[in-house]
A and B are shown apart, each in its own frame.
Chain A
Amino acid sequence: MLKIEAIIQPSKLDAVKDALLEIGIEGMTILEARGHGRQKGHTEFYRGREYTVDLLPKVKIEMVILDEMKEKAIAAIGSAARTGRIGDGKIFVSRIDEAIRIRNDERGETAL
């Protein structure tokens, strides 16, 4: 079982969710985040003074999937979220030791 964490532009959330649904991935957690990589922030004005806001709004999507789904998930997220500009985001993959369904205590891949 693999955990996919994708940090994307907030405006791409709907497209990414739809793309994941199309390949059969329904379970996911969405977090509102702030951050930046190489992207510069934007300037705002307060009382005539300019200042930079460099923590930008992002969305983080987390999901745990079967190993076989890895490349399909990465491709779906990538093509839905990509604009080609700096700030598109990142996808990280890590290994998950255990998964449990709280409702009925199912364990392992069937719990996904």
Chain B
Amino acid sequence: MSSPVDLKSLQDAVRSAQMNADNAWMLVSAALVLLMTGPGLALFYGGLVRRKNILGTMMQSFAMIGLVTILWAIVGYSLAFAHGTSFIGGFEHVFLRGVGLAPNSDYAATIPEQTYMVYQLMFAIITPALITGAFAERMKFSAMAVFLSLWSLIVYSPMAHMVWGVGGLLNAGGGHIPSLDFAGGTVVHITSGVSALVTALYLGKRIGYPHTAMPPHSMVLSFIGACLLWVGWFGFNAGSALGSGPLATSAFINTHFAAASAALGWTIAEWIHNGKPTALGAISGAVAGLVAITPASGFVQPFPALLIGLVAGVFCSFMVFKVKAWFGYDDSLDAFGVHGAGGTLGALLTGLFATRLINPAFGPNVATGAIDGHWGQLLNQAAGVAIAWGLSAIGTVILLFLVDKTIGLRVSSEDETAGLDLSQHGEEGYDLNS
């Protein structure tokens, strides 16, 4: 007996409430992802370096927050998410033109596009910040700022476009090679991890590495940072559901389960290998699990998530204990061993365990991953992984070369010995006598 006008306003009210619920979660998620960079990563990395480099290390993450925000607003968002080619977006949204408070149904129909933009910004910030782990304690602040700013435009935005952008080559919803990457296993972790390896190889080892022991100056700070990363990751993965519904729950649970089992996996592997379980191993394990579950978080069931975490914990510990020593590269904070390797593993396992029971990414009754019967998805995942590796390696090498030949990348050996805090910033991290 309600008149048509009443029913419409009821429907509008429900839709508005639904949208506000999604927006609330998405804004919180954006804040959680920023927390991962500052202070999560700043503390995690900061504690792992020697005392003379704590501020320099934290400043690298912090600088990304400032620089990438500005670049993203001006052109980065457009290059990632505007209409363009299969490989990169266009300039439709430079200076955030056309990005308002109305939803963009290409991406998220229930939240303002600005929410989507600012959420994606936090991913764009943390990705280059992760790379800083590879060149810790030896890169000039100025060179780092230029290199990573350019990297964000040349590597990050194109990769984000290919995987998540409208018309992207690897986009799960209609790309030529539909690749499943829920929250950025390829876009964030493989790109940063592989770029980290390339940078570590290009820059060379720290003075004294590996004969001089360079243990963390504060495992306490690293521990706090790692826990902030874990909690922040709920925003990273569950926020990638782009809404507050049941998919966010799945991603949340998978994230947590993988972190826990990975911490256990690394700890047990280390206990067997060394005779003692270290705090560094436990927290590194957790991070490795979080990395590996990132592409899978909104596609797999909880027990496969536990398995993915366990495998990632053991695999990444092997990469860090054995493979790094075999090749002798100085990936100082194991950005490649954890993010590059963990992201690669996670992206491939996503193809194995993705199921339409959690996320019908290809259609309501269409098999998603191998366990649904779609074994070909493993090949698509491998293609996404290969493209991420290739773009990262080539883009990074070119940028490193350019920046090195113009302003020089590495600090002088006197500056490296004095430490980044003094040489780059004229400060000391701890003045215990003041």
Whole-angstrom distance between the Cβ of B336 and the nearest chain A Cβ: 13
- The answer on a CB contact under 8 Å between A51 and B213 is yes
- The answer on a CB contact under 8 Å between A48 and B213 is no
The proximity string for B residues 200-232 relative to A, scoring 1 for CB distances below 8 Å and 0 otherwise, is 000000000000011110000000000000000
- The answer on a CB contact under 8 Å between A45 and B274 is yes
Whole-angstrom distance between the Cβ of B420 and the nearest chain A Cβ: 20
Contacts of B321 in A (CB 8 A): 47-48
Determine chain B's interface SS by DSSP, over half rule.
helix
Q: Cα distance A70–B334 when bound, in Å?
A: 56
Whole-angstrom distance between the Cβ of B285 and the nearest chain A Cβ: 12
- The answer on a CB contact under 8 Å between B280 and A47 is yes
Whole-angstrom distance between the Cβ of A53 and the nearest chain B Cβ: 8
Tell yes or no: B413 within 8 A of A by CB.
no
Other-chain contact of B320, A44, A45, A47 (Cβ < 8 Å): A47
Contacts of A44 in B (CB 8 A): 215
Q: Cα distance A45–B320 when bound, in Å?
A: 13
Determine chain A's interface SS by DSSP, over half rule.
strand
Tell yes or no: B273 within 8 A of A by CB.
yes
Tell yes or no: B416 within 8 A of A by CB.
no
Residue of A nearest to B278 (CB): A45
The proximity string for A residues 25-53 relative to B, scoring 1 for CB distances below 8 Å and 0 otherwise, is 00000000000000000001111111100
How many A-B pairs have beta carbons closer than 8 Å: the answer is 26
Tell yes or no: B421 within 8 A of A by CB.
no
Tell yes or no: B181 within 8 A of A by CB.
no
Other-chain contact of B280, A46, A50, A51 (Cβ < 8 Å): A46
Q: Which of B271-291 contact A (CB under 8 A)?
A: 273-274, 276, 278, 280
Residue of A nearest to B324 (CB): A47
Residue of A nearest to B320 (CB): A47
Contacts of B273 in A (CB 8 A): 48
Q: Which of A79-95 contact B (CB under 8 A)?
A: none
- The answer on a CB contact under 8 Å between A46 and B216 is yes
- The answer on a CB contact under 8 Å between B274 and A46 is no
- The answer on a CB contact under 8 Å between B215 and A48 is no
Q: Cα distance A45–B270 when bound, in Å?
A: 10
Whole-angstrom distance between the Cβ of A97 and the nearest chain B Cβ: 29
Whole-angstrom distance between the Cβ of A56 and the nearest chain B Cβ: 15
Q: Cα distance A45–B275 when bound, in Å?
A: 10
- The answer on a CB contact under 8 Å between A46 and B215 is yes
- The answer on a CB contact under 8 Å between A48 and B216 is no
Contacts of B270 in A (CB 8 A): 48
- The answer on a CB contact under 8 Å between B274 and A50 is yes
Contacts of B214 in A (CB 8 A): 46
Contacts of A51 in B (CB 8 A): 213, 215
Contacts of A46 in B (CB 8 A): 213-216, 280
- The answer on a CB contact under 8 Å between A47 and B334 is yes
Q: Cα distance A47–B222 when bound, in Å?
A: 14
Residue from B213, B276, B321 whose CB has the most chain A CB atoms within 10 Å: B213
Q: Cα distance A45–B278 when bound, in Å?
A: 8
Q: Cα distance A46–B325 when bound, in Å?
A: 13
Contacts of B216 in A (CB 8 A): 46
Q: Cα distance A47–B210 when bound, in Å?
A: 12
The proximity string for A residues 46-88 relative to B, scoring 1 for CB distances below 8 Å and 0 otherwise, is 1111110000000000000000000000000000000000000
Contacts of B276 in A (CB 8 A): 45
Residue from A44, A47, A50 whose CB has the most chain B CB atoms within 10 Å: A47
Q: Cα distance A81–B322 when bound, in Å?
A: 44
Q: Cα distance A49–B320 when bound, in Å?
A: 10
- The answer on a CB contact under 8 Å between B274 and A48 is yes
Query: B residues within 8 Å of A by Cβ?
Result: 213-216, 270, 273-274, 276, 278, 280, 317, 320-322, 324-325, 334
Q: List 5 A-B contacts (CB under 8 A).
A: A45-B276, A46-B213, A48-B273, A48-B274, A48-B320
Query: A residues within 8 Å of B by Cβ?
Result: 44-51
Known: A46-B215, A48-B320. 9 other contacts (CB 8 A): A45-B274, A45-B276, A46-B216, A47-B280, A48-B274, A48-B317, A49-B213, A50-B274, A51-B213
